[in-house]
């Protein structure tokens, strides 16, 4: 078996021509075409039949066991020989060891996978290293040491400020000069499908003189895209804008759940704390910049011009439409309540990384950077219930029901389908069901 694999391996081309890689011998239909052979995302899954957790990729309805490819030397190339590393890179419950190998290796492995699974490959119909998605459980794809959340959509920042402070003072004076952000809590980052317990904390009702301890009454979602950091810088050495893209392994969908009533009381003067640290959900698959390259879009010129360390001659984002759906306990179908797009950004990923590190802050492989809530210019493209409901003043239709905030039993899901020329790209779902708070427990 191994000899046969090695012979076939020698027949594979080292590099992939995307024009010829249009079909895979793994068939997929409309429901799974976001995992096309043009995608090849990376994740971590638990193989239920093997009772092991390993790094993986996906095409259609099938998950690819990357360790099986690694130990059969099918991922070796001119760029890297995994057998010479004297350790199993993909026989792990996190992608960090793979990510640390750097972009040339990421690209090479992705190209090898495409060559193995393209239609007409000598490996066609050899299924020893693929598993149906029903036989796996997705896990958090990386070990996340640190998490930073930005606030980089001008539309969203303006909408929030207008509701809170009025249109004249909607944007704070610093907003157009730097990518505003805060350090979040990595310990409560969870993968798609993990239930979210309604948080409890200190709030101050408008008509009361003193704060109270209560379950959150204004539970919200935030539509974001997360960046998985792919390279570390040295402490004391900032990353320049022109080099920042080298520090991006890939992107995920991200829901930074928010307790708005807790946040309103606590955020002055130091910003979010308990209102954000109870949960952040990400999609299970990390989509690479190589897969997203055809979907880059230019952003408008920034006014005023930022300081020199933030100036970027190539202001870009990606055309990633993100749909937000809500399923209530009374419904069986997901109801789309808004659709936004990652192209509605003001500050770019590169500027975020440059600003994050300008003081000498060290990034680590696997760190997560949130874009901040993404909103367009019309209500149908707003990225939070705070905006859609005008802070609870306006009902949001959800099928035959209405919402101003999330109720117990509601399921929020983000999904993204990027339409290419003859293929689609996606991330998988980013969902969570709201469970009741632990109201019977005493914390005080």
Cis peptide bond prior to 293, omega within 30° of 0: no
CA-to-CA distance for 64 and 247, rounded, in angstroms? 26
Instruction: Identify the CA nearest to 287 among candidates 95, 131, 115.
Output: 95
Cα 25 → chain centroid = 28
CA distances to 223, 348, 359 from 238, rounded to whole Å, are 28, 17, 7
Q: What six digits make up the tokens of 284?
A: 């299970």
430: left (phi over 0), alpha (psi -120 to 50) or beta: beta
Q: What six digits make up the tokens of 135?
A: 């036989």
| CA angle in degrees (0–180, nearest 5) for 247-249-254 | 110
Listed in sequence order, the residues at least 6 apart from 303 whose beta carbon sits closer than 8 Å to its beta carbon are: 176
The rounded radius of gyration (Å) of the Cα atoms in the chain is 22
CA distances to 29, 54, 118, 306, 376 from 36, rounded to whole Å, are 10, 21, 10, 39, 28
Q: What six digits make up the tokens of 262?
A: 């807790």
Cα 106 → chain centroid = 18
Instruction: Identify the CA nearest to 255 among candidates 322, 302, 173, 200.
Output: 322
Whether 156 sits among the annotated catalytic residues: the reply is: yes
Q: Identify the active-site residue in 156, 177, 183, 355.
A: 156
Neighbours of 294 (CB within 10 A): 15
At 336 the three-state DSSP class reads: strand
Instruction: Count Cβ atoms within 10 A of the Cβ of residue 93 and give its class: 0-12 exposed, 13-18 middle, 19 or more buried.
Output: middle
CA-to-CA distance for 406 and 222, rounded, in angstroms? 12
Just list the catalytic residues.
Answer: 156
């Amino acid at each position: 078996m191994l000899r046969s694999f090695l012979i076939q391996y020698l027949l594979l081309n080292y590099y992939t021509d995307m024009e010829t890689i249009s079909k895979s011998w793994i068939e997929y239909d409309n429901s799974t075409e976001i995992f096309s052979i043009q995608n090849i995302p990376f994740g971590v899954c638990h193989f239920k039949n093997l009772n092991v957790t390993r790094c993986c990729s996906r095409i259609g309805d099938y998950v690819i066991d990357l360790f099986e490819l690694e130990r059969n030397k099918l991922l070796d190339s001119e760029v890297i020989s995994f057998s010479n590393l004297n350790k199993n890179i993909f026989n792990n419950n996190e992608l960090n060891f793979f990510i640390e190998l750097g972009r040339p290796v990421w690209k090479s492995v992705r190209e090898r996978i495409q060559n193995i699974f393209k239609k007409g490959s000598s490996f066609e119909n050899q299924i020893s290293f693929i598993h149906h998605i029903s036989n796996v459980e997705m896990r958090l794809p990386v070990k996340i040491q640190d998490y930073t959340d930005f606030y980089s959509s001008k539309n969203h920042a303006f909408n929030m400020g207008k509701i809170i402070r009025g249109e004249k003072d909607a944007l704070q004076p610093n907003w157009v000069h730097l990518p505003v952000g805060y350090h979040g809590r990595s310990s409560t980052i969870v993968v798609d499908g993990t239930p979210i317990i309604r948080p409890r904390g200190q709030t101050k009702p408008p008509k009361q003189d003193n704060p109270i301890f209560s379950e959150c009454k204004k539970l919200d979602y935030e539509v974001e895209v997360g960046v998985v950091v792919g390279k570390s810088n040295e402490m004391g050495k900032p990353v320049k804008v022109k080099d920042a893209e080298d520090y991006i392994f890939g992107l995920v969908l991200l829901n930074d759940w928010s307790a708005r009533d807790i946040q309103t009381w606590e955020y002055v003067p130091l910003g979010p704390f308990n209102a954000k640290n109870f949960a952040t959900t990400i999609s299970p698959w990390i989509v690479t910049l190589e897969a997203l390259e055809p979907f880059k879009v230019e952003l408008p010129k920034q006014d005023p011009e930022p300081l020199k360390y933030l100036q970027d001659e190539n202001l870009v984002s990606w055309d990633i439409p993100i749909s937000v759906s809500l399923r209530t306990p009374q419904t069986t179908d997901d109801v789309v309540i808004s659709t936004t797009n990652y192209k509605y950004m003001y500050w770019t990923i590169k500027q975020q990384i440059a600003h994050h590190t300008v003081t000498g802050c060290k990034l680590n492989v696997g760190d997560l950077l949130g874009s901040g809530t993404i909103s367009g210019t019309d209500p149908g493209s707003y990225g939070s219930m705070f905006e859609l409901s005008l802070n609870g003043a306006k009902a949001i239709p959800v099928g035959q029901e209405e919402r101003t905030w999330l109720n117990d039993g509601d399921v929020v899901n983000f999904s993204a389908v990027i339409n290419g020329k003859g293929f689609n790209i996606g991330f998988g779902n980013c969902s969570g069901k709201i469970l009741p708070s632990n109201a019977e427990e005493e914390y005080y």
